[in-house]
Amino acid sequence: MRVLHLNNPAQVASNLVLAQRSLGLESSLVVTSTKGWHSNFDHNLSDIDTRQVQGKLAVGKKLYDLVKECDILHYHGQAVSEGYRDLVMWSGIMSKPVILHHHGSEIRNKKYPKFAGTLVKHRYVSTPDLLEFVPDAEWLPNPVNLDNLKYSETDTTGPLKILHAPTNRDVKNTEAVLDAISQVEMDGLDVQFTLVENVQHSELVEQVSKNDLVIDWLNPEFGIYGVFSIESMAQGRTVICTLTDSLYGKYDLPIISIQPGDLASKITEIYNDRQILVDMGKSGHDFVQKYHNPVESAKTVIERYKAVLG
C-alpha cells in the first residue's frame, strides 16, 4: 500500500510515516509549508514562491505527480487551496481516496467547507474539541515519536523549575501564566521560570528535560492538551492545562487541570509537595506509552485505509 501524507502539523504526519514504514507500508510525506523547524519530510515544496500564478501551478504539478503514484492520500491540516478546492483534483478527477485529518485552527469555530464534506472517505481530528466542527469525524490521539523522549524522574530539590513554551501566546493564555509566576515570586517561592518561544524542536525537548513542571494550554476556550503536553509527559514531567472534562471523561488523564485563576495556588501546592511531580510524571509517561504511541496509532489508521480501499 502506497500512502502519501500531505503536510505535517505538529509532526503528526511524520510520526505516522515512520510508524507505517515500520509496519511495511510505502509511506511518504510532502510539505507545502514549513517554518524550518523540522526536516523530517520526503518532498519539500515550501521554497516555491506561490504568490504568482506560475508558482501555484508548479506546486500543483508536483503534487499531481506525487498523488498519481499513491493508493491513498492522507491530507493534514490547512487547505492547500482555499476551501479545500484541490480535493476536486485529488478525489474528483484522479479518483484517489482521501483521508482528511484536521488539526485545529483551520476548522475550529468555522463553517465546514463543502468540498471537505463531500470529497473525502474519512475524517480524523487531532483533539476531541474539533469533533464539534467536523461532521462524522473520529478522534485520533496525536502520535508522538518517543525515540528521543527519554524518561527521567523529576528532581525534587532546589528551586521549582517551571517551563512554558507557547506557539501562540493568546491561544495558550500566556498572560495568565506570567501573572501566576509573578504572584508566587512575590509570595517568596523559590521558582525558576523559563519562557521558550520560536526554537527548534530539539531545543524544546532539551528544555523540558531541564524543568520540573510544564504549563501548557491554560485556556478554557479550548479545554485541550496538545503535542507539547504529550512530549512533556513522555519525559516524565508534570503538565498543567485547563481541560474540558467532558472531552476526556473515559480517560484517566494524568494532567493537572485547573482554571487559570487557580494557577498560583496550584504552583504553591506543588512547591510544598514535590512528590506530586514524581507521581504525576510517572503516570503521564505511562499514559503516553499507551495512547500516543505512533505504532499503535499507525495500526489504527492502516485498518481505516484498508476499509476505505476495500
| DSSP structural state of residue 83 | G
* pLDDT at res. 35: 66
Unique residue bearing C-alpha cell 479518483: 95
How many whole angstroms separate alpha carbon 87 and alpha carbon 120?
Answer: 8
Domain with CATH 3.40.50.2000 in the chain: 2-143+293-309, 160-291
- The amino acid present at 217, given as its one-letter code, is W
| pLDDT tens digits along 212-233 | 999 999 999 999 998 899 999 9
**Statement: residue 34 has pLDDT above 80:** no
**Statement: residue 239 has pLDDT above 70:** yes
Unique residue bearing C-alpha cell 467547507: 113
Cβ neighbours around 85 below 10 Å, total: 15
User: What cell does 138 get?
Assistant: 473520529
How many whole angstroms separate alpha carbon 305 and alpha carbon 146?
Answer: 24
| pLDDT tens digits along 42-54 | 999 988 888 889 9
CA dihedral 32, 73, 296, 172 (to 10 degrees): 40
**Statement: residue 36 has pLDDT above 90:** no
Radius of gyration of the chain measured on its C-alpha atoms:
21
pLDDT greater at residue 200 or residue 37: 200
Which of 113-117, 146-150, 218-222, 285-289 comes out lowest in average pLDDT?
146-150
| Rounded percentage of the chain residues whose pLDDT exceeds 70 | 99
**Statement: residue 172 has pLDDT above 70:** yes
**Statement: residue 164 has pLDDT above 90:** yes
Q: What CATH architecture applies to the domain 2-143+293-309?
A: 3-Layer(aba) Sandwich (3.40)
Q: Which fold does the domain 160-291 belong to in CATH? A: Rossmann fold (3.40.50)
What's the whole-number average pLDDT of the chain? 94
How many whole angstroms separate alpha carbon 7 and alpha carbon 28?
Answer: 11
Residues 185-194, mean pLDDT to the nearest whole number:
98
Q: DSSP assignment of 91-129, as one string?
A: IIIS---EEEEE-STTTTTSPPPHHHHHS-SEEEESSGG
Residues 79-107, mean pLDDT to the nearest whole number:
95
Sign of CA dihedral 209, 210, 212, 216: negative
User: What cell does 181 get?
Assistant: 509566576
* pLDDT at res. 86: 96
Which of 34-48, 130-144, 154-168, 225-239 comes out lowest in average pLDDT?
34-48
**Statement: residue 23 has pLDDT above 90:** yes
User: What cell does 78 get?
Assistant: 490547512
